[in-house]
Amino acid sequence: MKKTVHVGIYDTMADWETGHATAHLRSGRFHREPGGYELVTVALTAEPITTMGGLRVTPDLTLDRLDPAGSALLILAGADLWDQGDELAPFARKAREFLDAGVPVAAICGATAGLAREGLLDDRDHTSAVVHYLAAQDGYAGAGRYLDEDAVTGGDLITAGPTEPVAFAREILRRLDVCRPDVLDAWFRLHSRSDASAYEVLMTA
């Protein structure tokens, strides 16, 4: 039976930030176990959303029905809405539910600001665009745990800045133990650096 990964979707969602992670999770390619993951999109309402790239997406599930017990991971992408008020705050509160239940959460770009306002970064290693971006968020007191890295896993929380969708995917795949370490390293070298030597590892995986 496939494990389920939930992906938060909302208007102005930065659709490119999660593409490497979701495509690899769904494909099952190079996975330790065959079959891949089922991806379920989650929105505030049942109405379609429009991503920053103009894609219209109909959600599979509403946020109020999302139970961490039925999930392997919650992914939250950036969006203009994270910086324009509290409309997406329910996703940050749901992230708290996931973390309290011991279920991983992965947030990139503006979603890290939403988690900062919820206080979820204060006691966990994390990253974002720059520390000053998070420092401007009400409620953030985690500057001492900020790491200037491409992506960071702090326990059950994965974070990355807006320019690091491949590193974000790497941390997700590592946290879920999707691939052998040598395969994951080769996958990352290929997609982040166009390292042709990675092909040999991937073709024999």
- Known catalytic residues are 109
Q: CA dihedral in degrees (64, 44, 20, 105; nearest 10)? A: -40
Paired with 152 in beta bridges are 159
Q: CA dihedral in degrees (42, 43, 47, 48; nearest 10)? A: -70
Which tokens belong to 12?
Answer: 């102005």
**Cα distance between residue 198 and residue 46, in whole Å:** 42
**Cα distance between residue 103 and residue 32, in whole Å:** 20
To which H or E segment does residue 186 belong? Answer: helix 181-193
Burial of 156: CB neighbours in 10 Å, binned 0-12, 13-18, 19+: middle
